[in-house]
Amino acid sequence: APEGAVPATREEGKMADSTKGRPAAAPGGKALTAEQVVARFNRLRQEQRGLASKAAELELELNEHSLVIETLREVDPTRKCYRMVGGILVERTVKEVLPALENNKEQV
């Protein structure tokens, strides 16, 4: 080794690839096994798919509300219409249903 240089130790040689081959750290500071990493990844992937599915469902519901609202705006406000409330079909007028639909759309 050149004069004044500090010889590299075995640990320093590993510093460049410190993450290669070493398990990820768990929240508690313990190392995870490969199986635990894969299981966590799969849980996160499933959660992501569930969230994407819910987002698509809400987007569809929003589009349905918009379509019905646009249609009802062009109809006589005293005209009868039917609305499903808690699994029960109820008869109302357009002027009663339209504000409720607009409110529901805002909630979505």
Q: What is the domain-level CATH number for residue 52?
A: 1.10.287.370
CA distance from start to end of the chain? 70
pLDDT at 28: 67
Q: Is the pTM of this model over 0.85?
A: no
| Residue 14, domain member (yes or no) | no
Phi, psi of 55 (to 5 degrees): -65, -40
Distance in angstroms (rounded) separating the CA atoms of residues 81 and 13: 77
| Residue 17, domain member (yes or no) | no
| Residue 69, domain member (yes or no) | yes
Could you report the per-residue pLDDT of 3-48, keeping only the tens digit for each?
Answer: 544 444 444 444 444 455 555 566 666 788 999 999 999 999 999 9
């808690």: which residue's tokens?
Answer: 86
Residues paired with residue 31 on neighbouring β-strands, in sequence order? 25
Find the domain containing 63 and state its range.
34-106
Which amino acid does the sequence have at 41?
A: F
